[in-house]
């Protein structure tokens, strides 16, 4: 039942009053404000009898009337089935009337639960199993008791359906790389849906994304091929840099022949340090340069072998 408040104001210059209509309050606040007027005759009779019983049974009845809630708890009290005004009680001591009052304790600490693995078909038609962890707390004890039967169970079931709905719009690559964005989107969706239940979702974490065995093997083969390709590229780049360094070293040695001789001596020193029984002396290429530069003798093309005159073979008598 919704109500509106009417405020009448009068100004000094005008004699006619002005009427302002304020917006309606929420239903549960209105019920709390008028709960005592809705008990009825039977309710008031039971209330009076309960107070008389408590009075005549003191101090034994005091043990049943005094209750204590911890710092992290709140007590929601119902009198004759109706919510008591003032909201949840606690922390500390509060009083109830045993015959007509009932109460329910609500834990305000952060609770957590695991979302069971959900078989999900991704956007690119890959079946994966995904599980998650949800952290939540009760932000309004009164609403969590009056608006939902079991806030924790309802939040758990809603988390399962939300996880399936959100991951169904994602590809496999997005599931593996954008876990933080998926968790944030799921937290926002759950928080909006559980606000009428008095539940505040603090955090959502995607635990594991399980892939089919065949897909795991295919991805492992693809990753191995990519690593081999990168390794070959690195080896080729190393050989290219080494060849350039050798070219520069050869150019430096060619400018100074004595540098080559010093290199020979360093090589012999390193060979002798290893205690080898056989020592190989490199033969300098410079010694062969004189022979390689000699030109072969020229052949005279005009030279002709001697021939015998024609006339036949001389005869002998």
Mean pLDDT (the chain, rounded): 76
pLDDT at 109 (0 to 100): 92
The owner of tokens 């073979």 is 313
C-alpha to C-alpha distance for 10 and 161, rounded to whole angstroms: 57
Phi, psi of 38, rounded to the nearest 5 degrees: -105, 10
**Inter-CA distances, 244 with 224, 230, 234, 236, 259, Å:** 30, 21, 15, 12, 19
Q: Coil, helix or strand for 258?
A: helix
Q: What is the pLDDT of residues 202-236, one digit of tens each?
A: 999 988 888 877 776 777 777 888 888 888 889 88
Q: What is the pLDDT of residues 102-129, one digit of tens each?
A: 899 999 999 999 988 888 888 888 888 8
Structure tokens at 236: 């080729």
Given a cut of 90, is residue 254 above it in pLDDT?
A: no
Given a cut of 50, is residue 157 above it in pLDDT?
A: yes
Give the pLDDT mean for 250-275: 72
**99 vs 15 pLDDT, higher one:** 99
Structure tokens at 138: 């009760």
Contact 124, 171 (CB under 8 A): yes
Question: Per mean pLDDT, which range of 10-14, 118-122, 149-153 is the poorest?
Answer: 10-14
**Inter-CA distances, 308 with 301, 311, 317, Å:** 21, 9, 22
163: nearest Cα among 128, 197, 202: 128
pLDDT at 110 (0 to 100): 92
Q: Would you list the domain boundaries of the chain? A: 6-10+20-107, 111-214
**CATH topology (fold) of 111-214:** Tetrahydropterin Synthase; Chain A (3.30.479)
pLDDT at 11 (0 to 100): 40
**113 vs 32 pLDDT, higher one:** 113
Task: List the beta bridge partners of residue 20.
Answer: 7
To the nearest 10°, the Cα dihedral for 253, 256, 258, 259?
-30
Whole-model pTM? Answer: 0.58
Given a cut of 90, is residue 133 above it in pLDDT?
A: yes
Q: In this prediction, what percent of the chain has a pLDDT beyond 70?
A: 72
**24 vs 94 pLDDT, higher one:** 94
Q: In this prediction, what percent of the chain has a pLDDT beyond 90?
A: 18
83: nearest Cα among 25, 141, 151: 141
pLDDT at 173 (0 to 100): 85
pLDDT at 61 (0 to 100): 80
pLDDT at 304 (0 to 100): 52
Give the pLDDT mean for 31-40: 51
Given a cut of 70, is residue 20 above it in pLDDT?
A: no
Q: Coil, helix or strand for 206?
A: strand
pLDDT at 155 (0 to 100): 92
């Amino acid at each position: 039942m919704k109500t509106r408040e009417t405020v009448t104001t009068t100004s000094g210059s005008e004699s006619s009053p002005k009427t302002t209509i304020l917006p309606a309050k929420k239903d549960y606040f209105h019920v709390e404000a008028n709960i005592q007027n809705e008990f009825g005759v039977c309710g008031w009779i039971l209330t009076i009898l309960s107070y008389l019983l408590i009075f005549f049974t003191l101090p034994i009845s005091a043990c049943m009337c005094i209750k204590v809630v911890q710092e992290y708890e709140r007590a929601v009290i119902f009198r004759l089935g109706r919510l008591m005004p003032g909201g949840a009680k606690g922390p500390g001591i509060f009083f109830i009337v045993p015959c007509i009052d009932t109460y329910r304790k609500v834990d305000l600490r952060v609770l957590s639960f695991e979302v069971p693995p959900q078989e999900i078909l991704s956007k690119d038609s890959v079946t994966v199993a995904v599980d998650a962890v949800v952290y939540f707390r009760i932000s309004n004890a009164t609403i969590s008791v009056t608006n939902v039967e079991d806030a924790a169970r309802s939040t758990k079931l809603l988390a399962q359906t939300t996880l399936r709905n959100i991951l169904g719009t994602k590809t496999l690559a997005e599931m593996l790389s954008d876990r933080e964005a998926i968790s944030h989107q799921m937290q926002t969706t759950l928080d909006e849906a559980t606000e009428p239940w008095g539940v505040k979702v603090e955090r959502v974490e995607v635990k594991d994304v399980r892939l089919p065995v065949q897909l795991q093997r295919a991805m492992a083969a693809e990753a191995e091929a990519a690593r081999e390709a990168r390794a070959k590229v690195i080896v080729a780049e190393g050989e290219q840099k080494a060849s350039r360094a050798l070219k520069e070293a050869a150019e430096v040695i060619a400018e100074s022949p004595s540098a080559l001789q010093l290199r020979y001596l360093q090589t012999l020193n390193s060979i002798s340090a290893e205690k080898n029984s056989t020592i190989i002396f490199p033969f300098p290429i410079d010694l062969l340069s004189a022979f390689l530069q000699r030109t072969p003798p020229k052949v005279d093309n005009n030279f002709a072998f001697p021939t015998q005159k024609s006339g036949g073979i001389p005869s002998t008598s």
